[in-house]
């Protein structure tokens, strides 16, 4: 079976703030907000979306094709994919951008402040799935570039596996 996964490739840095944002963000000063927080720890960089799906499928012996965009910082990402025997054939490199990423800080009350840069995800992949056999292919659409999400859903609408899945869910 051919498994295509369309979605975002993003790298998130997740951080822990030991205090409460409410102690630093004053309602009467919100119009001149300028804060800086020291964090206790960072969970490091975590791969998101297509990475998880492809990795999980590879653990089950599948050979999924990731359809996504990635930025000029792609080398470490491709090294990781290679080390896990996951193909990068469907990943388009956008050399003018960095890979999508988020900085997520959570305080002790589970409030979060996130900064997100869509980076390369702003670009469509333009990956051609027209030669895939609809009877032995499936397309998984994860959150990502809106143009890709709409386009692949439209192009794969006639695929038997997708049609069957939609009918079974009704």
When pLDDT is cut at 50, 70 and 90, the band that residue 29 belongs to is confident
pLDDT for position 46 = 65
* Segment among 5-19, 40-54, 81-95, 135-149 with least mean pLDDT: 40-54
Q: Could you read off the pLDDT of 116-152 as tens digits, one per residue?
A: 999 999 999 999 998 888 888 889 988 889 999 888 8
Query: What residue ranges do the domains of the chain occupy?
Result: 2-169
- Give the Å distances, CA to CA, from 68 to 27, 35, 87, 167, 168: 40, 35, 12, 27, 28
Q: E strands of 65-136, at which residues?
A: 65-70, 91-93, 100-106, 112-117
Q: Cβ–Cβ contacts within 10 Å for residue 97, how many?
A: 19
Q: Is the pTM of this model over 0.75?
A: yes
**What topology is assigned to 2-169 in CATH?**
3.40.1190
pLDDT for position 26 = 85
* Segment among 51-65, 73-87, 97-111, 146-160 with least mean pLDDT: 146-160
Q: What is the mean pLDDT of the chain?
A: 87
pLDDT for position 48 = 64
- Give the Å distances, CA to CA, from 64 to 37, 126, 134, 166: 40, 17, 15, 21
**Residue 156 or 75, more confident:** 75
Percent of all residues in the chain with a pLDDT value above 70, rounded to a whole number: 89
Residue 47 has pLDDT above 90, yes or no: no
Residue 109 has pLDDT above 50, yes or no: yes
């Amino acid at each position: 079976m051919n498994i295509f996964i369309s979605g975002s490739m993003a790298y998130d840095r997740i951080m822990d703030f030991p205090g409460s944002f409410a102690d630093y963000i004053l309602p009467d000063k919100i119009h001149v907000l300028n804060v800086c927080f020291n964090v206790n720890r960072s969970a490091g960089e975590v791969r998101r979306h297509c990475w998880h799906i492809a990795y999980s499928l590879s653990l089950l012996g599948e050979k999924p094709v990731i359809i996504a965009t990635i930025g000029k910082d792609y080398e470490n990402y491709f090294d990781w994919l290679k080390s896990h025997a996951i193909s990068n054939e469907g990943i388009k490199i956008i050399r003018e951008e960095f890979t999508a990423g988020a900085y997520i800080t959570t305080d002790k009350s589970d409030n979060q402040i996130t900064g997100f840069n869509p980076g390369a995800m702003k670009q469509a992949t333009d990956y051609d799935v027209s030669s895939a056999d609809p009877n032995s292919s499936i397309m998984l659409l994860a959150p990502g570039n809106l143009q890709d999400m709409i386009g692949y859903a439209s192009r794969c609408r006639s695929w038997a596996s997708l049609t069957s899945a939609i009918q079974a869910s009704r």
